[in-house]
Every structure is written in C-alpha cells, then in structure tokens.
C-alpha cells in the first residue's frame, strides 16, 4: 500500500500555518540562525531551480531549528521589473494587478512544497511600504553625495528602450533581450559605489565561508591594478595626453600614441588640419557602431592619423598621434602608448598601418626578438631591457619599477592605482519601479523630496507601450508638483530605480518588515543580522552580492548596524538540467514542479532533488530517479507496521552510525550522502527489524528532508508535539566503536587480504599476525620484510 501523501501534506501544511510553527521570535536568551534564500521574481510559477534553491534552505533551517536555534527563515518577492510591464501590455492589465496575482499563485506553490517560512514577514518590493525605504535610502545617499546626476554616454537598449548598467551589458548585448546595445547621451542618476571600492575589495578576505570562485569574480570585477600614468606633451602645444600603462618597462618602445575616438582632446587636435575631415568621418562611423561590433570582432583594428605629433618624455622622440576603435574611453585614461613589439593588439595595428616599431625587451636567447622585421607576433614575455637608455641590461620586471619611479621623480608620469569598477547607473526609463524622489525646480534646481513626504507613490495608470522615454513623464498629475523649497511650480523626476536597488537591502527589511518609522529596526537587525547562511544561484555572484555588500557598508556608515558584511556564509547551487541542457521554455524541456507534486507529493520531490547531486553541482533531472525516491519513502513508511519489542544491537549500531553521518553531512550541505546514510539504516532495519525507539530516531533524522511524511509518522508513534520541536538526535559514541576491527593487509602497496583483530591489539602483535596469515605467507615466501607500515585501525603494508 502506498502512503497517502496528498492527504498528509495538506493536513500538515494547515497545521503549521494555524499554529505559527515557523514564526521567528526575537529571543535574546537563545542563539539565532538567519537562513535566507534569494527571493524570487514573481513570474507566477515556480520552476525546478526555485525548488532546488528553497529545498536546500528549508532543510538547513529545519535542521538548525531542531538543533535549538531560534531560526529566521523569511520569504518575499522581488516584484518590480520589466516582465510585469510586458505582461501588462500583452494581457491589457495593470502591472500591479498582474504582479499581485502572480505572487498569490506563487505562494500557493511554495506552500505546497512545505517550506518552513515565517509568512508573517512576507514582503514585496513593489508595495509602497517597501519602496518608500528605497527612496529614503536614496535621499540619505544624496545627502552624502553618493547619489549624483551626470550626463554621459550610456548603454542604451533600443528594444527595451531603456538604459543599462555596465553589468547588464553582456558581450555588447542586452542581458535581457540580447539586442545589440547602443551608446546614447543622457542625464542619469548614479550611485558612487566606487567610494567603497577599497573596502569592497579588502573585506573579501574575511569571507572565508564564501566559494572561492565568487570571491575571485568579485575581485576581478573591482579590478585593482597597479600602473603608471605617463604624460605625452603635444608638439607645438602645451596640451598633454595622459596614458595609462601597466608596462612602464616598455616606454622606450612606445612609437606612437592612440586616442579613443570619444577622447575629449580629439576634436581640438584635429581642428584645422588636413586630416580633420577623414578623422571626423571615422569618429562618426565608430560612434554609430554598436558596442557589439567594437568588442566582438577581435580581427580588424581600424584607425586614422590625426595629423598631430607628440613627444615621448623619456627619449624626446617625436611620435605620431592616432585615433583607433580598439582604444576604449571607459578604460584607463582613454589613451594608450602603442608598444608594437610587446603588445599584440598594438602589433597588429602597426602591421596594418605600416607604423614604426622598436624592440626594448630581448627574449631569452633572442630567438623571438632578433629584429622587428622577423617578428611574427608581439613578445609579451619577460627579458632584458635594450634600447632603453640607462636601464639597458636590467630585467624588465625590475626595470618596470625603476622606470616608473624615475619618471615620477622627473615629472614625466605618476605611479597610480587603477580600478575597473565604475559607478552604478540606476536610472531607468520604466514605469514599474521605485520613483526617484527628486523634484526639478526652475528656481532651486535639483531638490530632494523631504523625508516626511515619502513615499512618492507610483501613479496607478501610466501610458506605457514599451516604447520611448519614461512612461511617468506622460502622467501629468505625477509630473506636476510644487518645489519643496520655494513652493513654486516644479516637475518630478520621471525615471525609476534599477530593480537591483530593491534587492540590495531586503535581508535587513526582513528583520522588521512592518516597521513604519525606519527601513529596519536597529535592535531587531542587531539580533538577527548578519545572515548566517545565504543560498542562491551563481548568476548573482557579481551584481546582487556586490550591491548588497555596498549597501551594508553604507548602513554601517550611517551608524545603523555594527557589522560590515551582510552574508557570513554563501552557498551557490548548481543548475537543474534535462538531457544535459538547462531547463528553459525555449528548449521546451521544462519539468513542472506542480505536476511532480500531484503525482508523488512534495516530500518525494524534495528527497529526489537533494539526493540526485550535491547542491553546488549541476543536477540532471531523471524521471526514474524520482520514482526511486518515492519508493524509498514507501519502504520507510512500511517499517511502522512491523516494529519489534527490542531491536538487535547491530541495528542500534546502525542507527548511531546514521545519526553521526547524517548530522555531519547536513552541516556540510552533503545532502546526497546524508540520504544514502538513511538508506543504509533502512536497509539494516529490513535485515533484522526495528523497535519504536530506533524508528522514532530515524523519523527525526529524515524530518528536515521529508517534513510532512515525518510529522505523520511521528504522530502515529504517539507524540503529541510537532516533530519540528523534537530535538536533533545525538550519536552515542560507545555504540560506534566495535570490539573487533578489520585490518587491510597490503604487500608493496597492493591489497592482498584482510584480517579481523581486537581493536586494542598491540602493533607488534598485529605485525606478527599479518606475517603469519596463511593467505599472505604465499606472497612473502622467504623474502625478508624490509619495512612494515602500520596505520592504526586501518591497514598494514608489508614492503618486501
């Protein structure tokens, strides 16, 4: 007979809700545990990725609760964003209605999985009670000069008709719709995340419970590099071109200088020269090109001569000034010194345009660097300096430092630290987001909305079509306002905030989600924060985690919290695949969690998804595997019908072995082997039977994984309290040590047999026993043992 999962799961979900079993209480006498999974975008349906993410978090939360911690395990919705606008256009509804409907559907599905959330703390970022505090945070940043407005070339997605952050441009394409991204000049709001770059980099060292690859990704993104700025004075002018290089050792080989087409000096340099027209045409063409072609094609490097010359400060040589598309304004100073002999990009450009080249570093043995004519590619390796004045003969790594110091002393340049991290562009020309709380007054200029006037609410209706400009700009009653300073007529900012703003501090809001006076209650945050365990997808390794760390440091500077990192420990779970590919709508290989729940129940789904692979690796979906998980639960279920008065000692041993293994494995998120341990215990019980005590303990061990199932069995065993209150079992070490142990015998490292001996056997006696073992003697014959290695309790290796 199969267990009735449908009835049982509904019954216990109702019980948990009615008795507020998972309510998190601020209990100063108890140690807390804050377990958080990345909150979802409410698309309406949960997918297997959610199931995996939230099952991992749920097992861990339930386990910590049974270990005696006061657990905070909240859930909410990252509810602003573009899909709601698209859906609204398609279905002729309001984004607000669509989003709230989706949240309701999604909650039903999450509850069906039996996740142990404290639903009283639920929040949605699209509610004004939440986004009011986005505006509050923005104003605090504005006051401190951390939110500022700047006109600049921005990444523009023509299809979404909105700006994109650098982080949202993937290989020149929009991260959302994959359209080629264009450049556009706009007035935009930025957050000065660069103000925190040192701390964001430095504090990575303390995150010892984060995956090393995430640390590496963040560190690369912040991108600190040491280098030198070098000043090239224009010939017959006092203008100076500043270039950035990490290879000061190659300065004597700089044979020309290249500017980015957008470089501010370009127009001035070419003015009135014969080359002006050609150069302008070139600049025009490059600016028309989307970033995609400038970045993707690494073959053609195009450029033109400006007609101007400048002077290499180290050797007074007069060299050409060029413009080329492969030099980017966004990086460094927007200008480079070209060292064709020792930089591959410069080398290719030089060959293309027949420019001069000089070797200044000799490769060992000189094979590669005999002469410029013979070189097939740039030599980027180490070697000895040549053609470098007084630095000739030095190893280039040493020369790099000496030359930089010398240039700094002589005023030819400056040693600088360069960062890759840019300020964060948060303006979006979208409706469904947090309005930026700013008013433009003809008299007073940019005026922040006063705190007491928050929230600036989103108007219910806006004519958004998905095309052109900010939809809020078309809502007259929203735009028209009075200046908070002078009470004259003024207009509101019509851009909204990027949704990453919303998710950069939601973990703090969960500490006191109903607080009406502050973004979060300082005392509550002091108790619950930081998050002890954070779980989510690797795709958020850079953006979301970096922004959250930035906000946390900002709150620390406001004096609202006394820690500087939000997430103590981080787990990044792997993707769910079907037939070796990521599950996605376009591939049509989606397995709907709800259909699995219908067929096998949530406990089976939870069990399978944990058993099929370790959390951090990819998981291959397998229909037969889910069948196996279901069979196992039924096999365990049947034990209750055949309980003995007293189980054998070996079953007790098996139980305590399982307790030890399951506990250790859950601590390390090795759920797959924890379940294997439970299966071994069940197999042992099928060999010689269980009694009530053994079975009870087994049910507690599996309760974080299959909670409904365990509650039902627990009640059947006569317990009146919920199993979520049952303390986690402790392994009895005395039952784990055996009287007799099996020792492996090796000869020259090869496995040749085993021997069973008392666990207290003396080393000498053990050696003799092994040498005299009949199966071993034939291998030794009369050869003397050169050496005998004994690993206590495990093995003996006889070397002959």
Instruction: State the nearest-atom distance from the C-beta of 780 to RNA, in Å.
Output: 13
Instruction: State the nearest-atom distance from the C-beta of 610 to RNA, in Å.
Output: 11
Interacting positions 14-73 with RNA (CB under 7 A): none
Instruction: State the nearest-atom distance from the C-beta of 572 to RNA, in Å.
Output: 10
Interacting positions 156-175 with RNA (CB under 7 A): 170-171
How many residues in the chain? 800
Kindly tell me which of 206 and 246 has the beta carbon lying closer to RNA: 246
Kindly tell me which of 97 and 618 has the beta carbon lying closer to RNA: 618
DSSP category for residue 616: T
Nearest 5 degrees, angle CA 732-CA 738-CA 740? 175
Interacting positions 128-157 with RNA (CB under 7 A): none
- Of 573, 526, 498, 542, give the one whose Cα is nearest residue 200: 542
- Of 729, 734, 665, give the one whose Cα is nearest residue 698: 729
Choosing from 614, 644, 648, 771, the residue that interacts with RNA (CB under 7 A) is: 614
- Of the listed pieces 197-205, 213-221, 311-319, 527-535, which binds RNA according to CB under 7 A? 213-221
Does position 632 bind RNA by CB under 7 A?
yes
Choosing from 300, 366, 646, 759, the residue that interacts with RNA (CB under 7 A) is: 300
Interacting positions 741-770 with RNA (CB under 7 A): 742, 744, 746, 748-752, 754
Are 398 and 406 in contact by the 8 Å Cβ rule? The answer is: no
Interacting positions 770-799 with RNA (CB under 7 A): 787, 789, 791, 794-795, 797, 799
Does position 244 bind RNA by CB under 7 A?
yes
Instruction: State the nearest-atom distance from the C-beta of 506 to RNA, in Å.
Output: 23
Choosing from 204, 217, 447, 771, the residue that interacts with RNA (CB under 7 A) is: 217
CA 509 to chain centre: 20
Q: How far apart are CA 385 and CA 361, in angstroms?
A: 5
Kindly tell me which of 673 and 715 has the beta carbon lying closer to RNA: 673
Kindly tell me which of 3 and 54 has the beta carbon lying closer to RNA: 3
Instruction: State the nearest-atom distance from the C-beta of 618 to RNA, in Å.
Output: 6
Kindly tell me which of 251 and 529 has the beta carbon lying closer to RNA: 251
Interacting positions 719-738 with RNA (CB under 7 A): none
Are 790 and 738 in contact by the 8 Å Cβ rule? The answer is: no
Interacting positions 471-500 with RNA (CB under 7 A): none
Q: How far apart are CA 418 and CA 222, in angstroms?
A: 10
Interacting positions 344-383 with RNA (CB under 7 A): 345
Instruction: State the nearest-atom distance from the C-beta of 46 to RNA, in Å.
Output: 22
Choosing from 203, 278, 594, 620, the residue that interacts with RNA (CB under 7 A) is: 620
Residues 664-703, one symbol each (x = binds RNA by CB under 7 A, - = not), give: ------x-xx-xx--xx--x--xx----------------
Instruction: State the nearest-atom distance from the C-beta of 333 to RNA, in Å.
Output: 7
Does position 617 bind RNA by CB under 7 A?
yes
Q: How far apart are CA 132 and CA 532, in angstroms?
A: 27
Kindly tell me which of 466 and 614 has the beta carbon lying closer to RNA: 614
Q: How far apart are CA 515 and CA 346, in angstroms?
A: 59
Are 434 and 131 in contact by the 8 Å Cβ rule? The answer is: yes
Residues 6+ apart with CB under 8 A from 228: 244, 245, 246, 248, 404, 407, 408, 413, 414, 415, 416
**Bridge partners, residue 395, by sequence:** 384
Does position 401 bind RNA by CB under 7 A?
no
Instruction: State the nearest-atom distance from the C-beta of 167 to RNA, in Å.
Output: 7
Does position 619 bind RNA by CB under 7 A?
yes
Residues 303-342, one symbol each (x = binds RNA by CB under 7 A, - = not), give: ----------------------xxxxxxxxxx-xx-----
CA 435 to chain centre: 27
- Of the listed pieces 119-127, 217-225, 555-563, 694-702, which binds RNA according to CB under 7 A? 217-225
Kindly tell me which of 103 and 327 has the beta carbon lying closer to RNA: 327
Choosing from 177, 216, 482, 649, the residue that interacts with RNA (CB under 7 A) is: 216
Q: How far apart are CA 52 and CA 596, in angstroms?
A: 14
- Of the listed pieces 65-73, 382-390, 498-506, 536-544, which binds RNA according to CB under 7 A? 536-544
Residue 686 in tokens? 């099928």
Does position 82 bind RNA by CB under 7 A?
no
Q: How far apart are CA 680 and CA 368, in angstroms?
A: 63
Residue 428 in tokens? 């979006």
Instruction: State the nearest-atom distance from the C-beta of 33 to RNA, in Å.
Output: 24
Choosing from 26, 176, 224, 294, the residue that interacts with RNA (CB under 7 A) is: 294
- Size of site (CB under 7 A) for RNA: 85
Choosing from 257, 545, 613, 662, the residue that interacts with RNA (CB under 7 A) is: 613
> Which residue, chain included where needed, has tokens 């719709």?
177
Cα-based distances in Å from 777 to 750, 758, 772, 780, 794: 14, 21, 6, 5, 20
Kindly tell me which of 17 and 754 has the beta carbon lying closer to RNA: 754
- Of 534, 524, 521, 530, give the one whose Cα is nearest residue 564: 530
Task: Give the 3-state secondary structure of residue 152.
Answer: strand
Does position 4 bind RNA by CB under 7 A?
no
Choosing from 611, 652, 669, 728, the residue that interacts with RNA (CB under 7 A) is: 611
Task: Give the 3-state secondary structure of residue 33.
Answer: strand
DSSP category for residue 319: E
Does position 260 bind RNA by CB under 7 A?
yes
Q: How far apart are CA 25 and CA 529, in angstroms?
A: 14
- Of 347, 321, 356, 348, give the one whose Cα is nearest residue 336: 321
Does position 178 bind RNA by CB under 7 A?
no
Does position 223 bind RNA by CB under 7 A?
yes
Instruction: State the nearest-atom distance from the C-beta of 254 to RNA, in Å.
Output: 9
Element (H, E) at 139: helix 128-143
Does position 634 bind RNA by CB under 7 A?
yes
Instruction: State the nearest-atom distance from the C-beta of 72 to RNA, in Å.
Output: 29
- Of 544, 604, 568, 505, give the one whose Cα is nearest residue 55: 604
Does position 522 bind RNA by CB under 7 A?
no
Residue 767 in tokens? 């050696």
- Of the listed pieces 78-86, 539-547, 550-558, 690-698, which binds RNA according to CB under 7 A? 539-547
Instruction: State the nearest-atom distance from the C-beta of 340 to RNA, in Å.
Output: 11
Instruction: State the nearest-atom distance from the C-beta of 606 to RNA, in Å.
Output: 15
Does position 451 bind RNA by CB under 7 A?
no
Does position 343 bind RNA by CB under 7 A?
yes
Q: How far apart are CA 572 and CA 559, in angstroms?
A: 30
**Bridge partners, residue 414, by sequence:** 229
Instruction: State the nearest-atom distance from the C-beta of 115 to RNA, in Å.
Output: 23
Sign of CA dihedral 610, 615, 620, 621: positive
Instruction: State the nearest-atom distance from the C-beta of 298 to RNA, in Å.
Output: 5
* Complete DSSP assignment for 46-113: --HHHHHHHHHHHHHHHHHHHTT-EEE----B---SHHHHHHHHHHT--HHHHHHHHHHHHHHHHHHT
Interacting positions 181-210 with RNA (CB under 7 A): none
Query: Could you give the residue ranges of the DSSP H alpha helices within 262-308?
Result: 266-270, 276-288, 291-296
Instruction: State the nearest-atom distance from the C-beta of 289 to RNA, in Å.
Output: 9
Instruction: State the nearest-atom distance from the C-beta of 258 to RNA, in Å.
Output: 8
Instruction: State the nearest-atom distance from the C-beta of 387 to RNA, in Å.
Output: 18
Are 155 and 145 in contact by the 8 Å Cβ rule? The answer is: no
Element (H, E) at 544: helix 543-557
Q: How far apart are CA 684 and CA 681, in angstroms?
A: 5
Query: Could you give the residue ranges of the DSSP H alpha helices within 748-795?
Result: 763-772, 774-780
């Amino acid at each position: 007979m199969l267990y009735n999962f449908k009835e049982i799961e509904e019954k216990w979900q109702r019980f948990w809700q009615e008795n507020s079993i998972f309510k998190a209480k601020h209990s100063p006498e108890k140690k807390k545990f804050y377990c958080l999974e990345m909150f979802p975008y409410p698309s309406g349906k949960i997918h297997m990725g959610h199931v995996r993410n939230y099952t991992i978090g749920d097992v861990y939360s339930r386990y910590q609760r049974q270990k005696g911690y006061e657990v905070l395990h909240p859930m909410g919705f990252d509810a602003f964003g573009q899909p709601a606008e698209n859906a609204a256009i398609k279905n002729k509804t309001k984004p607000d209605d669509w989003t709230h409907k989706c949240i309701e559907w999604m909650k039903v599905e999450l509850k069906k999985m039996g996740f142990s959330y404290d639903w009283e703390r639920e929040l949605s970022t699209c509610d004004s009670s939440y986004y009011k505090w986005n505006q509050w945070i923005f104003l605090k940043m504005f006051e401190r000069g951390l939110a500022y407005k700047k006109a600049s070339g921005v990444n523009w997605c023509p299809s979404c008709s909105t700006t994109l952050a650098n982080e949202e441009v993937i290989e020149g394409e929009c991260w959302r719709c994959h359209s080629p991204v264009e450049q556009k000049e706009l007035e935009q709001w930025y957050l000065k995340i660069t103000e925190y770059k040192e701390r964001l980099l430095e504090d990575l060292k303390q995150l010892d419970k984060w995956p090393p690859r995430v640390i590496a990704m963040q560190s690369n993104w912040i991108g600190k590099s040491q280098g030198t700025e070098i000043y090239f004075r224009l010939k017959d002018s006092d203008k100076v071109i500043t270039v950035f290089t990490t290879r000061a050792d190659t300065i004597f080989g700089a044979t020309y200088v290249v500017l980015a087409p957008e470089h501010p000096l370009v127009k001035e340099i070419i003015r009135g020269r014969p080359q002006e027209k050609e150069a302008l045409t070139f600049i025009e063409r490059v600016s028309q090109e989307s970033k995609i072609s400038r970045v993707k094609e690494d073959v053609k490097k195009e450029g033109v001569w400006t007609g101007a010359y400048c002077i290499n400060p180290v050797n007074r040589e007069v060299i050409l000034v060029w413009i080329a598309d492969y030099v980017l304004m966004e990086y460094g100073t927007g200008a480079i010194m070209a060292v064709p002999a020792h930089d591959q990009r410069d080398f290719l450009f030089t060959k293309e345009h027949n420019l001069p080249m000089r070797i200044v570093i000799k490769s060992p043995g000189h094979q590669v660097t005999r002469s410029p004519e013979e070189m097939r590619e740039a030599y980027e390796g180490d070697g000895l300096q040549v053609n470098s004045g007084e630095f000739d003969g030095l190893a280039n790594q040493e020369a790099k430092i000496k030359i930089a110091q010398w240039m700094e002393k002589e005023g030819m340049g400056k040693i600088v630290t360069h960062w890759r991290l840019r300020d964060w562009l948060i303006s979006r020309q979208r409706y469904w987001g947090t309005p930026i709380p700013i008013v433009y007054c003809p008299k007073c200029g940019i005026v922040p909305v006063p705190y007491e006037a928050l929230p600036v609410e989103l108007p219910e209706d806006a004519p958004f079509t998905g095309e052109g400009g900010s939809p809020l700009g078309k809502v007259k009653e929203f735009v028209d306002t009075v200046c908070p300073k002078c009470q004259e007529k003024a207009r509101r900012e019509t851009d909204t905030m990027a949704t990453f703003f919303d998710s950069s501090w939601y973990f703090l809001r969960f500490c006191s989600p109903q607080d009406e006076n502050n973004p979060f209650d300082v005392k509550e945050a002091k108790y619950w924060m930081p998050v002890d365990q954070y779980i989510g997808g690797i795709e958020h390794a850079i953006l979301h985690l970096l922004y959250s760390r930035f906000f946390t440091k900002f709150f620390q500077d406001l004096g609202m919290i006394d820690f500087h990192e939000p997430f103590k420990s981080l787990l990044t779970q792997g993707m769910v695949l079907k037939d070796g590919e990521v599950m996605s709508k376009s591939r049509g290989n989606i397995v709907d969690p709800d259909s699995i729940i219908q067929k096998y129940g949530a406990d089976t789904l939870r069990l399978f998804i944990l058993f099929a692979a370790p959390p951090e690796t990819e998981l291959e979906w397998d229909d037969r595997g889910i069948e196996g998980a279901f069979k196992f639960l039924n096999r365990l279920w049947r034990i209750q019908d055949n309980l003995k008065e007293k189980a054998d000692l070996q079953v007790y041993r098996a139980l305590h072995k399982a307790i030890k293994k399951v506990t250790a494995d859950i601590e390390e998120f090795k759920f797959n082997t924890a379940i294997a341990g439970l299966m071994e215990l069940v197999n042992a019980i099928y060999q010689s039977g269980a009694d009530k005590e053994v079975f009870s303990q087994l049910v507690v061990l599996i309760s974080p994984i299959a909670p409904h199932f365990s509650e039902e069995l627990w009640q059947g065993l006569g317990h009146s309290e919920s199993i979520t209150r049952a303390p986690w079992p402790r392994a009895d070490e005395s039952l784990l040590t055996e009287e007799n142990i099996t020792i492996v015998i090796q000869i020259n490292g090869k496995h040749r047999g085993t021997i069973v001996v008392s666990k207290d056997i003396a080393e000498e006696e053990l050696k003799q026993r092994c040498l005299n073992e009949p199966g071993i003697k034939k291998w030794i014959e009369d050869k003397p043992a050169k050496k005998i290695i004994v690993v206590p309790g495990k093995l003996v290796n006889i070397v002959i």
